[in-house]
Amino acid sequence: MSDSSADSPAQAPMTSRKSHRLWLWLLVLALTGGVYFVYAKSSRAATQGAPVSSGRGSNAGAANAARAVPVQAAAARRGDINVYLSGLIGTVTALNTVTVHTRVDGQLVSVAFQEGQMVHEGDVLAEIDPRPFQVQLEEAQGQLQRDEAQLANAKLDLERYKVLFAEDSVAKQQLDTQQATVTQDEGVIASDQAQIDTAKLNLTYARVTAPLTGRIGLRLVDPGNIVHAADINGLVVITQVQPIAVIFPIPEDALPRVLPKVHAGEKLAVDAFDRDPVKPTLLATGSVLTLDNQVDVATGTVKVKAIFQNQDDRLFPNQFVNARLLVDTLKQVVVVPSAAVQRGPQATYVFVIKSDSTVDMRTVDVQLTQGDDTVIKSGVADGETVVTDGLDKLQPGVRVQTRSPSSSPGAATKGDRP
């Protein structure tokens, strides 16, 4: 009895600790279950509270918006378009070039021009020492006076011989001899007059004048030098730059389009641009003057000469320019930007934006491509919108969204590019 009574107090604390742990675990499980129940209920309530149909429509709209391909577009237009022969390398050539020579020999005493200035026909450019020619003139005039006196005396003798011959006082031979003397003296007078005219002309030539209107070049002879009419270099060179010419070649294949118009008297327009490859500048506009009379067999081209008024002096002799020749004008054709036209292995096509913002691939018949414009014979109608940028992502039926709608392709001026 006493042993069993002693063991009971030791077992009681152990039983109490086990019970405490059990209740602790039960409390943890209960709290975990409660949290899960609250979370599941709130999620189910949120799901049931949202309308399923409207949610699906919103997601579909967002997906469709995300699938719309951003593009740039332009409207096809109907209008006139110019047809050019472009990329023609031309050389500016003075319409006339004159090397001014002296026409008499002598000392160059003065120069009346400044290098590079514009001169007009008849302007005095230089002066040769006129004194030798003045002396020649005076000498010729003196000779004329002497010979005129001799002629007058011979005529008086002739009249006397006529009277004597009528009285049968002189022979007929003497009368004829005197008549010949008078005629000879008259010839001497004519020769003297020619000498006077020559001296006057030399005096005129002593003043060197401009034979045409143009620009003076660099002076080739300085004052004080003795110049001769036979000198090779001359005194100065004058080039006529207003108007001025541009000579450029065109392919012989273009002759059927150009030659009939030139023969008919049409003034085909020619534009001259500078040689800037990035942004060429229009220098002047002129017209075709004439064509060469033969084809260059080495290049297969024909030279064309165009004339420009050049009032602003933007064209300079021997300058290289890019020429552009207007050969025709297409009237009231359908034009789209060249960027819209795509060329596949089987056909040429464009993407046309329909009213529902989807694209349709159209096969087109291209008549002409001129710079940034392309003429469409069939496949696109006036006013339809074609895609010009973003084409690599398009297929028939794809929805598109225009980024920045542009105006008609002809809104920008194409005349400033060759």
pLDDT for 284 equals 95
Phi and psi at 201, nearest 5°, equal: -65, -40
Are 364 and 340 found together in one domain? yes
pLDDT for 19 equals 60
- The per-residue b/e assignment along 191-230, b for 16 or more CB within 10 angstroms, e otherwise, is ebeebbeebbebbebbebbbebbbbbbebebeeeeebeee
Number of domains in the chain: 5
In 225-378 the beta strands, taken as DSSP E runs, fall at: 226-227, 236-239, 244-251, 269-273, 282-291, 301-308, 320-337, 342-343, 348-353, 359-363, 365-370, 373-378
Element (H, E) at 385: strand 385-389
C-alpha to C-alpha distance for 336 and 400, rounded to whole angstroms: 19
pLDDT for 24 equals 67
Are 261 and 317 found together in one domain? yes
pLDDT for 57 equals 42
CATH number at residue 300: 2.40.30.170
Contact 288, 268 (CB under 8 A): yes
pLDDT for 414 equals 43
Are 262 and 274 found together in one domain? yes
pLDDT for 120 equals 95
pTM exceeding 0.75:
no
Contact 308, 244 (CB under 8 A): yes
Place of tokens 């730059």: 241
pLDDT for 355 equals 87
At CA 213, angle to CA 212 and CA 218, rounded to 5?
90
Is the residue at 40 inside a domain? yes
Are 316 and 254 found together in one domain? yes
Q: Which domain holds residue 262?
A: 85-95+239-329
- Render pLDDT for 229-284 as a digit per residue (tens, 0 to 9): 999 999 999 999 999 999 999 999 999 999 999 999 889 999 999 998 888 999 99
Are 324 and 257 found together in one domain? yes
Q: Which residues in the chain land under pLDDT 70?
A: 1-25, 27-29, 31, 33-66, 404-418
